[in-house]
Amino acid sequence: GAGMGMTAPVSITAFPAEDGSLQQKVKVYLRIPNQFQASPPLPSDESIKIEERQGMTIYSTQFGGYAKEVDYVSYAGKLKSALGSEAAYRKDFYFCNGYDPPMKPYGRRNEVWFVKE
């Protein structure tokens, strides 16, 4: 029953298939606002879980526009190319992040994150 408003980023875990496309399983993460961190409201929907995401070091790339799956896949490929074979990062998933509400037409911020091993 508590409204928490929009938080940023909205973070989606992408699980790449062999061909680079995304599998049809996703996890969406929404940040709990500061005032609810100590004691978050309990979800009424059983499919919603509260998880604490541990600190991580990431490799990231940023891009603009209204991001679609094809954009995240493309920028993940560009980040992979930029990192080359020297960087150690998780290959079984990556994060697709959006920072802006849908009604913001310009200056949008999106990121792809690879988690450093």
Report pLDDT digits (tens) over 67-80: 999 999 999 999 99
**At 101, which CATH number?**
3.20.80.10
What is the per-residue pLDDT across 15-49, written as a single tens digit (0 to 9) for each? 988 887 777 777 888 888 888 888 888 888 898 88
Q: What is the pTM of this model?
A: 0.86
Q: Is residue 20 part of a domain?
A: yes
Q: Is residue 45 part of a domain?
A: no
Question: Which of 1, 5, 29 is CA-nearest to residue 95?
Answer: 29
- 3-state secondary structure at position 1: coil
Q: How many domains does the chain contain in total?
A: 1
Q: Go through 54-74 and write b for each residue having 16 or more CB atoms within 10 A of its CB, e for each that does not.
A: eeeeebebeeeeebeeebbbe
**Which residues constitute the domain of residue 101?**
10-37+54-115
What per-residue confidence (pLDDT) applies to 83? 97
Q: Is residue 1 part of a domain?
A: no
What per-residue confidence (pLDDT) applies to 30? 85
